[in-house]
Structure 1
Amino acid sequence: MDCASGDPQVLTNRLYERAGLYGIEFSREKSKIMINSETHTSTDVTMNCEKL
């Protein structure tokens, strides 16, 4: 899948996996996903099996 497609879950998974390679960890409580959409789309996005 191309990054330009903008699938929030795929991009979040990629970010989590790549950051882990550098020892970076994310806090679910402090993390937010913002989607810029003209169609008022909503979606559930998870990181490390936890909903953001």
Structure 2
Amino acid sequence: MPTPAPTSCRHCGIGHREHAQRWTAAAGWHQWTPPTQQQIKERMARRRAARTGRP
């Protein structure tokens, strides 16, 4: 599965425009929730690593 965009939902990784209301085992039914600063940082690092081929 591709790494979600840095600003995707905290719980499921779906973007704000596509989200509406979703269900996940961890969060149940939820609306788009902004990611934490740590999640944004980790997602950006994973996307950068995938682009450059580095771990």
- Using the size of structure 2 for normalisation, the TM-score is 0.35
Question: TM-score, normalization: structure 1?
Answer: 0.37
